[in-house]
Amino acid sequence: MLEYTDRHARYLFRVMSRHALLYTEMVTTGALLHGKPARWLDYSDCEHPLALQLGGSDPSELAACVRLAAQWRYDEVNLNVGCPSDRVQNGRFGACLMAQPDRVADCVRAMREAADLPVTVKTRIGIDHQDSYEALVAFIATVADGGCDTFIIHARKAWLSGLNPKQNREIPPLRYETVYRLKRDFPGLAIIINGGLNDLDQAKSQLAYVDGVMLGRAAYHNAYLLSHVDSVFYGEHSEAISRAEVISRYQAYVNEELERGTPLRHMTRHLSGLVQGVPGARRFRRYLSENVHGSGASAAVISQALDLLRSAATASAVS
């Protein structure tokens, strides 16, 4: 979810769900250790529970990043061993690390020793021709010996050459049964499933086989589904918050961020998924895209876009 789940998107998500565990976009160890860590690590307190997702392959560097995560009071640190992009491979981390289970175990061990924080691993079910169930079992067993007891598993293999990241999310077939089997064979581990789940009914059905579900792009591009997460998964019986109320609460946040100098466009871009499938969504998005770039642009632009959405909803109801 690089360049998607930044702190502004996560604030929007938290308006809709009080309980869902939120993850940062993947942050490299180099960005934290050789740049300005606050740029990546700062967040709003309301975002808890919140996990920091790291990309890296050097145990000492990952340990240093975990200490930063503890300093910033994150609730979990996740090591990404599933991203297949060329840029990530060139840095020798992400999915290519599935070929080096001992190194991943060393990384987890160093991370666990660095601070008293849960360390989880996000991975695929295989890479390239290393995609047998036996290879996956060996990988999980080795990394679990390093101290990881929670695995988030994208139920597709990754081709490290020949497919781009988007294709790697679509072309390799989903193999949910492989993840279910893994849970049966490792009952003491928490197995979280990811990949190809587009709605909450699909997600909830997975709980008959695994311990949890991670939603990625579905939760971003159709963000309003998060307004039902607390009732579907956490037993809350209150009525789902309306889109208008979500936008109103987010607008208050936008006003505060504008006073801190955050560009309006950095925050409004996350609103597109909130109106997915709603009458007037195209006009809403177009109005935002055309009016957030001026030096005098304010959060009033959001109110004006919302008015367009309401007008479209009224026209649709009348027709």
Compute the distance between CA of residue 204 and CA of residue 212 in angstroms, rounded to an integer.
9
Q: H helices within 157-216, ranges in order?
A: 165-168, 176-185, 200-205
| Active site (annotated) includes residue 83 | yes
Compute the distance between CA of residue 253 and CA of residue 154 in angstroms, rounded to an integer.
33
Query: Which is it for strands 22-23 and 50-55: parallel, antiparallel or unpaired?
Result: parallel
The amino acid at 316: S
Compute the distance between CA of residue 217 and CA of residue 12 in angstroms, rounded to an integer.
15
**Alpha carbon of residue 245 to chain centroid:** 23
Q: What's the alpha-carbon Rg for the chain, to the nearest Å? A: 20
Pair of tokens at residue 292: 């957030």
From 46, 65, 83, 148, the catalytic residue: 83
Pair of tokens at residue 313: 């909803």
**Contact present, 73 and 115 (Cβ < 8 Å):** no
Pair of tokens at residue 42: 């700062």
Q: How many CA atoms lie within 13 A of 278 on its CB side?
A: 27
Query: Catalytic site residues?
Result: 83
